Copies of this chain bind each other. A is one copy, B any other.
Amino acid sequence: MRIGELSRRTGVSERALRYYEEQGLLRPERRPSGYRVYRDVDVAAVRRIRVLLTAGLSTAQIVEVLPCMVDDDDLLAPICPELVDELVKQRDRIGAAIDELAATRANLDTIIANERRAS
């Protein structure tokens, strides 16, 4: 498929897809005309890229993670623990924020409950 169809199937803009290629996240074939040609697996790849980006990872980090993600047929690159560390740190940062917000919500619940009882 060409870039327009991949864009429609993923909801990601053509500009973003070209940017992902520029960053080494995608490596589409080229027709003699220069047109990019993507494979079906690229649809899943783009979705994974989106998940990681919205999780707060940079394209540079994703470029290291992607080869480690298991559905690339047979290619499994060696893992650097340093990278796993980064992922764990990111997860923990998110966890801390969740805890903060949860505590706040609990306090808010108490206030709401007290207010209802008082009135």
Contact = CB atoms under 8 A, between A and B. Distances in A.
B94 A101 contact: yes
B114 A91 contact: no
A56 B102 CA distance: 13
A68 to B, nearest CB: 5
A76 B108 contact: no
Interface in A55-110: 55-57, 65, 68-70, 72, 76, 78-79, 81, 83-84, 87-88, 90-91, 93-98, 100-105, 107-110
30 contacts: A48-B100, A51-B96, A51-B100, A51-B107, A52-B101, A54-B97, A55-B56, A55-B93, A55-B94, A55-B108, A56-B94, A57-B97, A68-B107, A68-B115, A70-B117, A72-B103, A72-B107, A76-B118, A78-B119, A79-B118, A79-B119, A83-B115, A84-B112, A84-B116, A87-B111, A91-B105, A91-B112, A94-B101, A95-B105, A101-B101
